[in-house]
Each structure stands twice: as structure tokens, then as C-alpha cells.
């Protein structure tokens, strides 16, 4: 499918870029919100077409079986979030929390963020990927601070400092990979092209690759939110607009994880280099257990679900660190399910915070009485994210645990422990949020329920019946990951 | 590679490490900004020398960016901000100068040990360049950790970034160096100067990061 020499890869990049330019100029939030949604839908359509037809591999851009999973998932969540964003933003404008100028900025930045994330995913070049992830960081920093409250600025500042240190370390790692590649591949552009590196990595200097990977893991790991580099994540989730929390958890963490996975594949192809798995396993377990305990002390609802994201990124990093077809499959499935569930939860939480005019857990009680749809959606979302059947996260967590038991029973113990700790915390909080004496704030909402119901519906459907076509695809990708 | 080429490159990269140390013990903001300007100037010279040695004209662009943007524009802007905020007083450091310098020496030793050992097969110039660059990066990190003030944290970040540019320039024939240095400049210009300092100024009487923490404690 090529139009005017542009293929689907160009489409997933050009649509957001053009939309950002248009949205930056357009006044009036209603029209902007529609254009935002339309652009996200068009991007999603272009992303889906990548499943069926692959454009040729270039020195800068390429799509392979691994990245297409991330792109389609990202474009889908990007689209549903833009739907949610439209109704969320309408409320923010009515209550005067966002001015028209900031809103224009918000919409433009939303599309720039989509552009950055898509560019990172379709890049065939270490440098391009780095620049793209930096761009995505920059836009989210600006969006986290958009309310300009003390807390929002603090969150954005912290995110900026930690995020920049992260991307700086990642760049040093990238340079080291190039230095390792240069004697084998030769000078110039080829030394940074993924597809070239993958074929020749076996001859690279393993010591340099090891050091490079440590920098890359620390750098991109900061963006994944792995402990102990997670400090920015709860603040950024809690203080920014809720659509951004949904995009951060559902997409940006995945994009950073994608970068880590790419480098993991690179190292795995060089037999003399250190095995990247144990590092990922350790960081994953630390994040999981740490976040599980932190969940108990949270008083802010968005902050709580941010810690839940750290917990789940820990599980995913753990699964990919274990490696092997089964654990990788479980990791991919868990990543997909977590993206869908967590962004769905943030859609729900966004509306809840608007009707209760507070994010404090203490101010939100008895939702199922006052707002049945929101309340029960939250119940569904929390049960899903806690890993109860019949939701899809149960399936993926079950797979992670069983595959670990089969190979490293000792590692399964902390894994199960961490999951149970988090499970307890989430159910404990859910009790007060959804049931009991309702708190004040019974105003109706003009919420759009479609995005959250679609997300939870998909997660439920995946838990009950996972289509064989997708199973086959995920198995294929899991084998690629090694 | 003849002796002179190597020595000059060595001198300039070492000079950058020296400048990083000088940054560590500056206890007045205006002096800190001046030293940072020197830091960027040394970087520009180092990159220009690499461009000449490697016969890579695109690196001259990076050198010019470092010179014009980081050695002139940013320091001028920072000085204005400092004056406007009235914070040209002493910097509070979380760690004293002595321990900070000792930690810095330790970090330089660490980066020498790590980088020289793993790059035994790499080109001699690139190798030492990488070791120096890692030292600058780690010293920048150290500075960000030991300072509480927002402006000095930003300067710490920029010195760290100078180390990265040095590493990228030293890696022979590395593509996209110019793009990366532009991306970094955008990061710095956009966020630091434009958005953050003004917003923080707008809302806080001080841009001390500790003030930010206070708001957080009040809330949680």
C-alpha cells in the first residue's frame, strides 16, 4: 500500500506530525478534540495495515514482527485515550482548570507524543530511537506540568531531572555500542543500524557490549520505571492530566521497554557477552516487591495506580528477563493486558476524580451507589489489574508464575509474594472506594464510557478466549526474543 | 595518528575533566555560570579538533553549536535569570566541597578503570576520549546530586551532556552526532530556560528544589 511513494510507516509518522501542526494553530477545543481523535484513528488504521504489508527495510526506518505488536497496541491505546481525552478536557475547560491556550498546546503535544513514540518503534537506528524517546520524554514533561500547580511543577521537575539523566545514560550506552560495532561494521551510518548490527553482533567486543548494556538498562530502565529509578513515575502520573497518565502507563513505559528488549536481543546474539536476563530479573523483582508494599501507603488514587504500574512493569521485566519462548510469551501478553487495563483504569479514575473533585482516596467512597457505571467499572478494572480470573491479566500472570516454577522454583517465591502483596493492597482500597457510605459529590457526568468499557471488555474477552491467530503471532514474536 | 594530534586531543579532553572539577567547588552561582561557559568552550575546541583530526566536517557544526549555544547564549540567559531572581548568593551544597572533590576523584578513577579495561581493542584516541567522557558524565551526575539549587542542577546536567558530546565526537565516524547535539540543545533550551525556571519563578519565591519538597510533604 503506497500512495505517492509513502508507505504505512511514513503514515504512522506523518499523520501525528501533521495533526500536531494543525492542532497547534487551531483555536476552539471542540474541533481540536475531534481532529485529535480523527488523527489517532487514522494512525491506528495505518498501524494495523502494517500487519498485512511490510514496507522495505531502510537505514532509518523499519518494521518487524516485534515492533508491529508495540505499534498496533500503542496506536490503539492512543486512539481510545483521545476519545477519553475529549470528554475529560471538556470538563476541565468548564471548570476553568485549563485555558484555551494551554489546551491548544495540550492537543498539539498529544500528537507530538504519538509521533515520538511511533518514531521510536519504527526506527531502525540506535540514534533515531534515542532522539525519538527523548522527544517523547520532553513532551510528557511539558504535559505533566500543564496545570502549573505547585505539585504539577514539582512532578514535572522531578520527571525532567530523572528522565534527562536516564536518556543521558542511554546515549552513553548507545555510543559504546557504536564503538563496539565500528571495528566490525566499519565507520558511518551502518554502525548504528539495527538490522546490520543484529547480523554482525557475534564479532563485537563483548566487554564493551557489557558496559554498554549496563548504561542502556539504567538509562531506558529509568523510563520504564523500574526500581530504584522509578521516583519520577508516581508524581508524573498523579499531577498531570489523566489522559496523560493513561498514555504514560499504557504506552510510554512500553516504548522504553521496547528499547531495553532490543538491546537485550542484541546482547543475546553475542555469546561471549554477559547474559542480560539476570539483571532484568533482579530489577523486575525489586520493582514488584517494592511497589507492592508502597501500594498500602497511598492516599492519592492516581498515585496508587502509578505504583501498580511499577509493579506490573516489574513483572513484565521479570518475564522477559527469564527469557525462553514461554516466559517471553507471558511477558508480551502481560504487557498487552496491562496496557489495556491500566489505561482503562485511568479513564475511570479521571472521571471519578472529576465528579468527586478530589484525587484523595479518603474523599472517594461508595461509588457503586452514586455512580454505578463508574463504580462498577472501577471494580472491574481493579479486579482485572489485581490478577483475578476471568480477566486477561490472570492468564498472563499465571503463565509467568508457572513458567518460572518450571525452571527456577526459587525465583517464583518472591514473584508470587510480590503479586500477593499488591493484590491485598488493591482489594483493601477497592473496598472503601467502591462500597460503603457514599461521600459527597453526586454530580452527574458527561463521561464517555465507551473507551473504558472497550478496554475492560477486551481484557475480559482475552481472559476467556484468546484468538489462536494472536496466540500464534505472540508465540512467533516470543521465539524472536530468544 | 601522529603524536601532536593525539596530544592536543588528550589535552582538550583532560581540560574538560578539569573544568568539571572546577564546577564542583564553585559556591557562587554567577561564578558557576562563568565556569560552565569555559566548560562549553573547551568542549567546542575538543570537538573542533576531532573534526580536524578525523576530517569530518559535520563535527564542526557540533562545535559551533557548543560554542554559540552553550558557551554564549545559555550562560547569558542563565545570568539574566539569576539576576532577575536575585539568587547570586551562596549555593547550599548537600555535601561539603572536600567530600565532593574526593568523590569526584573516586569517580574519575572508576571511569578510567572501567573504560580503559573494556576498550583495549579500540582505537587509542577513542579509548582515552571515552574514559575522559565518562569521567565528565559521572562528575556531572555528582554535581546534580550534591546541589540543591535548580540552576546549579541544570548546569550539572549540561556539563554531563558536554561529556556525552565529547564521547560522541570521539567515536570515529559516528553518525547523527549533529542531530543528537541539536536534540540536546532543544531539550535544554526548551525545557530549562523557557518553561521551567519561569514557571517555578512564577509560583515559588525561590527556585530551590527543597522548596518543592516542602509542598510535597504538606500534601502526603
Print the SS3 string covering chain A: CCECCECHHHHHHHHHHHHHHHHHHCCCHHHHHHHHHHHHHHHHHHHHHHHHCCCCCCCCECCCHHHHHHHHHHHHHHHHHHHHHHHHHHHHHHCCCCCHHHHHHHHHHHHHHHHHHHHHHHECEHHHHHHHHHHHHHHHHHHHCCCCCHHHHHHHHHHHHHHHHHHHHHHHHHHHHHHHHHHHHCCCHHHHEHHHHHHHHHHCCHHHHHHHHHHHHHHHHHHHCCCCCCCHHHHHHHHCCHHHHHHHHHHHHHHHHHHHHHHHHHHHCCCCCCCCHHHHHHHHHHHHHHHHHHHHHCCEHHHHHHHHHHHHHHHHHHHHHHCHHHHHHHHHHHHHHHHHHHHHHHHHHHHHHHHHCCCEHHHCCCHHHHCHHHHHHHHHHHHHHHCCCCCHHHHHHHHHHHHHHHHCHHHHHHHHHHHHHHHHHHHHHHHHHHCCCCCCCCCCCCCCCHHHHHHHHHHHHHHHCCCHHHHHHHHHHHHHHC
CB contact under 8 A, B190 and A138: yes
Asked, for residue B138, whether it belongs to a domain, the answer is yes
CB-based burial, A249-274: b 16+ in 10 Å, e otherwise: bbbbbbbbbbbbbbbbbbbbbbeebb
Which of A299-303, B198-202, B213-217 comes out lowest in average pLDDT?
A: B198-202
From CA A198, how far away is CA A207, in angstroms rounded? Answer: 17
Residue from A134, A157, A210, A273 whose CB has the most chain B CBs within 10 Å, to mutate? A157
**What pLDDT sits at residue A201?**
86
From CA B100, how far away is CA B81, in angstroms rounded? Answer: 26
Residue B218: exposure state from Cβ atoms within 10 A (0-12, 13-18, ≥19): exposed
Confidence of residue B133 (pLDDT cuts 50, 70, 90): very high
- CA-nearest residue to A60 within chain B is B176
The number of residues making up chain B comes to: 220
Answer for the pair A293, A274: CB distance below 8 angstroms, yes or no: no
From CA B149, how far away is CA B93, in angstroms rounded? Answer: 8
Q: How many CB atoms lie within 10 A of CB B127?
A: 18
Q: Per-residue pLDDT for chain A (482 aa), expressed as one digit of tens each?
A: 456 667 888 888 889 999 988 888 888 778 888 899 999 999 999 998 888 888 888 888 888 888 899 999 999 999 999 999 988 888 888 888 888 888 888 999 999 999 999 999 999 989 899 989 988 988 898 888 888 777 888 788 888 888 888 988 999 999 999 988 888 888 888 888 888 888 888 888 888 889 999 999 999 999 998 888 888 898 888 888 999 999 988 889 999 999 999 999 898 888 888 888 889 999 999 999 999 999 888 888 999 999 999 999 999 999 999 988 899 999 999 999 999 999 999 999 998 888 888 888 888 888 888 888 888 999 999 999 998 888 999 999 999 999 999 888 899 999 999 999 999 999 988 888 888 788 776 666 667 788 888 999 999 999 888 888 888 888 988 888 87
Interface residue A138 vs chain B (CB under 8 A)? yes
Interface residue B203 vs chain A (CB under 8 A)? yes
Confidence of residue B205 (pLDDT cuts 50, 70, 90): very low
HEC profile for B133-185? HHHHHHHHHHHHHHECEHHHHHHHHHHHHHHHHHHHHHCCCCCCHHHHHHHHH
What's the number of domains chain B is made of? 1
CA distance A106 to chain B (A): 14
Chain B residues with beta carbon closer than 8 angstroms to that of A141: 191
Interface residue B199 vs chain A (CB under 8 A)? yes
CB contact under 8 A, A188 and B173: yes
Residue written as cell 470538563? A91
From CA B34, how far away is CA B71, in angstroms rounded? Answer: 9
Asked, for residue B202, whether it belongs to a domain, the answer is no
> What whole-number percentage of chain A has pLDDT above 90?
40
From CA A367, how far away is CA A378, in angstroms rounded? Answer: 9
Which neighbouring-strand residues pair with B93?
B147
* Region at B176 (left for phi over 0; alpha for psi -120 to 50; beta for the rest): left
CB contact under 8 A, B121 and A183: yes
Contacts across the A-B interface (CB distance below 8 Å): 127
pLDDT tens for A41-88 read 999 999 988 888 888 888 888 888 888 999 999 999 999 999 999 888
CB contact under 8 A, A172 and B202: no
From CA A127, how far away is CA A67, in angstroms rounded? Answer: 17
**What pLDDT sits at residue A214?**
92
Chain B residues with beta carbon closer than 8 angstroms to that of A130: 180
Interface residue A151 vs chain B (CB under 8 A)? yes
Q: Which cell is A247 given?
A: 498514555
Q: How many CB atoms lie within 10 A of CB B106?
A: 12
Asked, for residue B217, whether it belongs to a domain, the answer is no
Confidence of residue B1 (pLDDT cuts 50, 70, 90): low
From CA A26, how far away is CA A409, in angstroms rounded? Answer: 58
**What pLDDT sits at residue B2?**
67
Q: Which of B219, B115, B127, B120 is nearest to B171 (CA)?
A: B127
From CA A256, how far away is CA A476, in angstroms rounded? Answer: 22
CB contact under 8 A, B183 and A131: yes
Q: Which of residues 292-311 of A touch B (CB under 8 A)?
A: 299-300
Domain limits at B135?
Answer: 3-189
Q: B81 pLDDT exceeds 50? A: yes
Asked, for residue B151, whether it belongs to a domain, the answer is yes
CB contact under 8 A, B180 and A160: no
Chain B residues with beta carbon closer than 8 angstroms to that of A149: 203
Q: B95 pLDDT exceeds 80? A: no
CB contact under 8 A, A160 and B115: no
**What pLDDT sits at residue B204?**
40
- CA-nearest residue to B155 within chain A is A161
**What pLDDT sits at residue A431?**
86
Asked, for residue B205, whether it belongs to a domain, the answer is no
Of B137, B160, B175, the CB nearest to A188: B175
Asked, for residue B203, whether it belongs to a domain, the answer is no
From CA A398, how far away is CA A381, in angstroms rounded? Answer: 18
Q: Which cell is B135 given?
A: 569521567
Asked, for residue B143, whether it belongs to a domain, the answer is yes
Chain B residues with beta carbon closer than 8 angstroms to that of A169: 137
CA distance A116 to chain B (A): 13
Answer for the pair A63, A122: CB distance below 8 angstroms, yes or no: yes
Distance linking the first and last C-alpha atoms of chain A: 31
- CA-nearest residue to B172 within chain A is A187
Q: B214 pLDDT exceeds 60? A: no
pLDDT tens for A436-474 read 788 776 666 667 788 888 999 999 999 888 888 888 888
CA distance B154 to chain A (A): 8
Q: Which cell is A440 given?
A: 459527597
Asked, for residue B208, whether it belongs to a domain, the answer is no
Q: Residues B153, B159, B163, B165: is their CA dihedral positive or negative? A: positive
CB contact under 8 A, B174 and A205: no
CA distance B72 to chain A (A): 22
Which of A342-356, B30-44, B186-200 comes out lowest in average pLDDT?
A: B186-200
Interface residue A231 vs chain B (CB under 8 A)? no
- CA-nearest residue to B130 within chain A is A176
Q: B4 pLDDT exceeds 60? A: yes
What is chain B's mean pLDDT, rounded? 79
Answer for the pair A308, A288: CB distance below 8 angstroms, yes or no: no
CB contact under 8 A, A168 and B216: no
HEC profile for chain B? CCHHHHHHHHHHHHHHHHHHHHHHCCCEHHHHHHHHHHHHHHHHHHHHHHHHHHCCCHHHHHHHHHHHHHHHHHHHHHHHHHHHHCCCCECCECCCHHHHHHHHHHHHHHHHHHHHHHCCCCCHHHHHHHHHHHHHHHHHHHHHHHECEHHHHHHHHHHHHHHHHHHHHHCCCCCCHHHHHHHHHHHHHHHHHHHHHHHHHHHCCCCEHHHHHHHHHHHC
Amino acid at each position: 500500500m503506497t500512495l505517492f511513494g509513502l508507505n504505512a510507516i511514513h503514515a504512522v509518522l506523518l499523520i501525528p506530525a501533521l495533526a500536531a501542526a494543525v492542532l497547534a494553530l487551531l483555536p476552539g477545543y471542540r474541533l481540536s478534540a475531534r481532529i485529535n481523535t480523527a488523527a489517532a484513528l487514522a494512525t491506528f488504521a495505518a498501524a494495523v495495515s502494517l500487519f498485512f504489508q511490510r514496507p522495505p527495510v531502510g537505514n532509518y526506518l523499519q518494521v518487524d514482527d516485534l515492533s508491529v505488536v508495540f505499534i498496533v497496541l500503542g496506536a490503539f491505546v492512543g486512539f481510545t485515550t483521545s476519545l477519553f481525552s475529549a470528554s475529560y478536557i471538556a470538563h476541565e475547560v468548564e471548570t476553568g482548570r485549563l485555558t484555551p491556550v494551554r489546551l491548544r498546546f495540550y492537543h498539539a503535544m498529544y500528537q507530538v507524543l504519538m509521533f515520538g513514540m511511533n518514531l521510536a518503534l519504527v526506527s531502525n537506528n540506535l540514534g533515531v530511537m534515542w532522539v525519538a524517546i527523548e522527544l517523547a520524554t520532553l513532551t510528557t514533561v511539558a504535559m505533566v506540568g500543564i496545570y502549573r500547580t505547585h505539585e504539577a511543577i514539582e512532578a514535572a521537575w522531578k520527571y525532567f531531572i530523572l528522565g534527562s539523566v536516564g536518556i543521558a545514560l542511554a546515549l552513553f550506552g548507545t555510543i559504546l555500542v557504536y564503538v563496539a560495532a565500528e571495528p566490525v561494521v566499519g565507520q558511518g551510518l551502518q554502525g548504528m543500524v539495527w538490522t546490520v548490527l543484529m547480523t554482525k553482533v557475534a564479532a563485537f567486543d563483548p566487554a564493551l557490549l557489557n558496559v554498554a548494556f549496563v548504561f542502556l538498562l539504567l538509562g531506558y530502565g529509568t523510563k520504564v520505571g523500574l526500581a530504584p529509578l522509578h521516583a519520577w513515575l508516581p508524581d508524573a502520573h498523579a499531577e498531570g492530566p489523566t489522559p496523560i497518565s493513561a498514555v504514560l502507563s499504557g504506552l510510554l513505559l512500553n516504548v522504553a521497554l521496547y528499547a531495553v528488549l532490543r538491546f537485550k536481543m542484541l546482547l543475546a546474539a553475542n555469546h561471549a557477552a554477559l547474559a542480560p536476563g539476570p539483571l532484568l530479573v533482579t530489577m523486575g523483582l525489586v520493582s514488584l516487591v517494592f511497589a507492592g508494599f508502597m501500594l498500602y501507603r497511598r492516599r492519592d488514587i492516581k498515585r496508587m495506580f502509578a505504583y501498580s504500574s511499577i509493579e506490573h512493569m516489574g513483572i513484565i521485566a521479570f518475564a522477559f528477563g527469564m527469557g525462553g519462548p514461554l516466559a517471553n510469551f507471558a511477558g508480551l501478553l502481560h504487557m498487552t493486558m496491562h496496557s489495556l487495563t491500566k489505561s482503562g483504569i485511568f479513564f475511570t479514575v479521571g472521571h471519578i476524580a472529576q465528579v468527586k473533585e478530589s484525587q484523595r482516596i479518603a474523599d472517594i467512597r461508595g461509588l457503586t451507589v452514586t455512580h454505578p457505571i463508574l463504580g462498577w467499572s472501577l471494580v472491574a478494572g481493579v479486579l482485572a489489574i489485581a490478577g483475578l480470573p476471568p480477566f486477561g491479566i490472570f492468564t498472563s500472570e499465571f503463565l509467568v508464575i508457572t513458567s518460572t516454577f518450571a525452571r527456577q522454583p526459587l525465583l517464583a517465591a518472591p514473584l508470587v509474594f510480590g503479586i500477593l502483596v499488591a493484590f491485598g493492597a488493591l482489594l483493601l482500597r477497592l473496598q472503601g472506594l467502591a462500597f460503603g457510605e457514599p461521600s459527597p459529590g453526586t454530580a452527574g457526568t458527561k463521561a464517555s464510557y465507551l473507551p473504558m468499557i472497550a478496554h475492560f471488555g477486551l481484557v475480559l474477552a482475552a481472559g476467556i478466549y484468546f484468538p489462536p491467530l494472536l496466540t500464534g503471532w505472540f508465540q512467533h514474536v516470543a521465539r524472536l526474543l530468544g | 595518528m601522529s603524536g601532536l594530534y593525539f596530544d592536543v586531543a588528550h589535552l582538550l579532553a583532560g581540560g574538560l575533566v578539569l573544568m568539571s572539577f572546577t564546577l564542583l567547588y564553585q559556591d557562587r552561582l554567577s561564578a558557576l555560570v562563568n565556569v560552565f561557559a569555559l566548560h562549553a568552550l573547551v568542549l567546542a575546541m575538543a570537538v573542533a579538533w576531532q573534526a580536524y583530526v578525523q576530517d569530518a566536517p559535520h563535527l564542526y557544526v557540533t562545535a559551533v553549536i557548543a560554542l554559540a549555544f552553550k558557551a554564549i547564549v545559555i550562560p547569558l540567559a542563565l545570568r539574566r535569570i539569576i539576576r532577575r531572581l536575585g539568587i547570586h548568593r551562596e549555593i547550599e551544597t548537600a555535601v561539603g566541597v572536600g567530600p565532593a572533590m574526593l568523590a569526584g576523584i573516586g569517580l574519575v578513577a572508576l571511569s578510567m578503570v572501567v573504560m580503559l579495561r573494556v576498550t583495549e581493542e579500540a582505537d587509542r584516541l577513542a579509548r582515552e576520549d571515552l574514559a575522559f567522557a565518562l569521567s565528565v558524565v559521572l562528575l556531572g551526575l555528582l554535581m546534580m546530586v550534591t546541589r540543591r539549587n535548580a540552576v546549579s542542577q541544570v548546569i550539572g546536567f549540561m556539563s554531563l551532556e558536554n561529556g556525552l558530546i565529547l564521547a560522541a565526537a570521539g567515536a570515529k565516524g559516528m553518525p547523527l552526532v549533529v542531530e543528537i547535539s541539536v536534540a540536546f540543545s532543544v531539550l535544554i533550551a526548551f525545557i530549562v530556560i523557557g518553561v521551567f525556571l519561569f514557571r517555578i519563578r512564577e509560583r515559588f519565591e525561590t527556585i530551590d528544589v527543597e522548596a518543592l519538597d516542602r509542598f510535597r510533604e504538606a500534601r502526603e
